[in-house]
Amino acid sequence: MSVFSRLIPDNPVLTKELRVRMRGSRAYWILLGYLGFIAVLVLVRYNSFQSAVTSIGAGGSASSSIGTELFNWIMIPQVFLVLFITPAITSGSLTIEREQQTMDLLTLTRLSRRGIVLGKLMSAVSFTALLIISSLPLISICFMLGGVDPLQVFSAYMMMLAASVLIGSMGIMWSSAARTTTQAVMLTYFTLFLLFLFVYGSFMQGLTQKFAPTGLPSASETAFNALSQSWFGNQFIGFRVPEGFGFAVFSLLCGTLMTSVATARIEMFPDRKAGTLRALTLLLISLQAFSVANWWVSAWYHRGSRVVMTAVQPPIGAMIIPCIALLLLVPIFATGEVASFEAQRIGKYLRWSFSPAGFKRGKLGSGIPFLAVATLVTVCAYWLAFVPVGKAGAAFHSGALSLGLPGLPPPAPININGQPGETVTVTGQTMSISRTNGSAVTATKLPNGGIQVNRTDPNGMATVSILTNWPVDMPVMPPPPPASTLVAPQTGDMLQATVALLATIVGFGLFCVLCSVAFRSRWVSAVAGYVLLAILWIVPDVSTSYTTSMKDTSIWANLGYLNPIQVFSQICEPANYWQNRFLMFGHTPMWQVCTLAWGALSVLFLALILIFVRIIAKENAPIPYEELVQLA
């Protein structure tokens, strides 16, 4: 045995898979086809470029732009190939073991389930890594032409590798859940499609924001922009990183989570591993909450070069992202089964569910406590994002910055016209403006505290930097409203949002538990949960868009009270939110109605759950042996 072979991790699954994959000539044909395809693309593009050059006689600058374009021509098909090849390898990996009746032999060895899953994943990822690394020489053509810097190439390859881990893990996860390989492949590609739509959507969102910085996006639009910034931007939780670093981090974390799901599913007692899954979920969601909030907070306080991309809403909007994630997780964690012996001792069962041991087991009773803890951890992550900028206290009332009252015209923007080096005084605060070329620069202070920079230079070459900190947390207050106008909406911030979010998560969780005890099927109740979620998400907005006055408002529009995203929107945009929105309780703050509504529903759900638990308790099915061992 050579020294070298000792260095390779001794994972027999990986060794075997690699041996088999590279056996014969198949692997080489795949590699040849892959490189051939990309090479032909490059050749076609390069030729058309050359004919363009000879006919027009373009200069050096065209060469660098063609370099960039060629790079895209190489990368985009590669991304698609990676996205399609990796799941094709992994989604069958566990179902095939079951189909060819080798799973039992494999699980009886001393290999850990994690080892099996990781071996399968690594063999797939290393194959895609081989494919994309073998295409590196083609990239050198782009370097020759210019327009591509090594960091960009590094970013692209890092993201592709991370994506192949992510997609590969997803394939393995479905492979562990599905009955047949066909099912697993279909489920994998379907999720891939949804994921692609989502990532593509939020990426495009980010792009539009980049190119149209002066528009006023809605709170959820800004939230998705923040999400895309945290993935594809060059800042990650406050550090300067290569672009796509955040995406790589989240892909790897998400991949770890999904391989853990696969590991748990092939375990003899899947719910014994629930603790790991819950901890990973918590880590993922709180890190995402932190990174989004961090981007938003630093944009809000005009840090660094983001002046032009100021967030125009208070950072509480950043909670929309973890809020969506939590809502999507509820049907997963709050569904399950209650056995009749558990129903008979429901008090003891619930007490046990709330203990650390209960958290570790994936029992239905501990689902809602876990979700509540996850909500609080997320809120803490949001609050932590204020700490690095030294404004920990501002987290509690940043929404109160928002100005404007219903029925009042928005206050007129204050225009700042400055010359280089000149100091402009704006309502008692100072700001100096410098410019890099000769053109005049104007900046507009927006009513909500943001700054809109108006570039008068037609070439768009002017850069503006604000030399002193623009004190956004002391905004320009509008004149007090005349007594005759509407009562000012009481809008709040972190605490109010937390209360509403918590009420929603618990209430929605109880709905899922109710479905579980009523339908006695985890899958059916999870689907019921997602259907309710979709209704709450879509129906109120559709209904609102057809409503023009208080008279023709329908009950459907009022369902919006049950959607916590509406709570965040209302806190973020108190002025615009009530325009064209005619709800049952007028301009009562959304968080109050949301909390009360979910509270009332929770009581109803609880009562129904208890009735169903009684019915289950009467069944008197025998206690499973596994539980007897636990109880003893």
Residue 102 in the binding site for another protein (CB under 8 A): yes
3-state secondary structure 286-355: HHHHHHHHHHHHHHHCCCCCHHHHCCCCCHHHHHHHHHHHHHHHHHHHCCCCCCHHHHHCHHHHHHHHHC
Q: What is the DSSP string of 10-54?
A: --HHHHHHHHHHTSTTHHHHHHHHHHHHHHHHHHHHHHHHHHHHH
Cα dihedral across residues 512, 516, 522, 528: positive or negative: negative
Query: Can you state the angle between helices 522-545 and 320-333, rounded to 10 degrees?
Result: 150
SS3 127: helix
Residue 25 in the binding site for another protein (CB under 8 A): no
Per-residue x/- track, 57-96, another protein (CB under 8 A)? ----------------------------------------
Residue 100 in the binding site for another protein (CB under 8 A): yes
Q: Which of 562, 443, 547 is nearest to 508 (CA)?
A: 562
Please say which residue, 72 or 521, places its beta carbon nearer to another protein. Answer: 521
CA 293 to mean position of chain CA atoms: 12
Answer whether 311's CB lies under 8 Å from 398's CB: no
Which residues 289-318 are close enough to bind another protein by CB under 8 A?
none
Residue 104 in the binding site for another protein (CB under 8 A): yes
Please say which residue, 102 or 355, places its beta carbon nearer to another protein. Answer: 102
Residue 622 in the binding site for another protein (CB under 8 A): yes
Residue 618 in the binding site for another protein (CB under 8 A): no
- The minimum distance between CB 175 and another protein, in angstroms, equals 16
Residue 179 in the binding site for another protein (CB under 8 A): no
Residue 23 in the binding site for another protein (CB under 8 A): yes
Cα-based distances in Å from 206 to 79, 81, 143, 339, 525? 20, 24, 27, 48, 35
- The minimum distance between CB 120 and another protein, in angstroms, equals 13
- The minimum distance between CB 93 and another protein, in angstroms, equals 12
Beta-carbon count within 10 A of 595 CB: 22
- The minimum distance between CB 99 and another protein, in angstroms, equals 8
Cα separation of 280 and 613, whole Å? 31
CA dihedral 38, 43, 44, 47 (to 10 degrees): 160
Residue 6 in the binding site for another protein (CB under 8 A): yes
Residue 627 in the binding site for another protein (CB under 8 A): no
- The minimum distance between CB 360 and another protein, in angstroms, equals 17
Answer whether 380's CB lies under 8 Å from 286's CB: yes
SS3 432: strand
Which residues 411-440 are close enough to bind another protein by CB under 8 A?
none
Residue 56 in the binding site for another protein (CB under 8 A): no
- The minimum distance between CB 15 and another protein, in angstroms, equals 7
Total residues contacting another protein by CB under 8 A comes to 30
Q: DSSP character for 487?
A: P
Per-residue x/- track, 471-510, another protein (CB under 8 A)? ----------------------------------------
Residue 7 in the binding site for another protein (CB under 8 A): no
Q: Which of 489, 320, 507 is nearest to 405 (CA)?
A: 489
Residue 3 in the binding site for another protein (CB under 8 A): no
First to last CA, the chain: 49
Please say which residue, 1 or 212, places its beta carbon nearer to another protein. Answer: 1
Sole binder of another protein in the list 36, 304, 471, 624 (CB under 8 A): 624
| Angle (CA) 110 128 109, round 5° | 10
- The minimum distance between CB 268 and another protein, in angstroms, equals 6
3-state helix, strand, coil in the chain (%, to 5): 65, 5, 30
Cα separation of 507 and 368, whole Å? 9
Please say which residue, 32 or 621, places its beta carbon nearer to another protein. Answer: 621
- Sheet of strand 451-455: strand arrangement: 414-418, 441-445, 451-455
Residue 30 in the binding site for another protein (CB under 8 A): no
Please say which residue, 50 or 102, places its beta carbon nearer to another protein. Answer: 102
Please say which residue, 538 or 628, places its beta carbon nearer to another protein. Answer: 628
- The minimum distance between CB 512 and another protein, in angstroms, equals 22
Please say which residue, 477 or 621, places its beta carbon nearer to another protein. Answer: 621
Residue 588 in the binding site for another protein (CB under 8 A): no
Interface with another protein (CB under 8 A)? 1, 5-6, 10, 12-13, 15-16, 19-20, 23-24, 100-102, 104-111, 268, 622, 624-626, 628-629
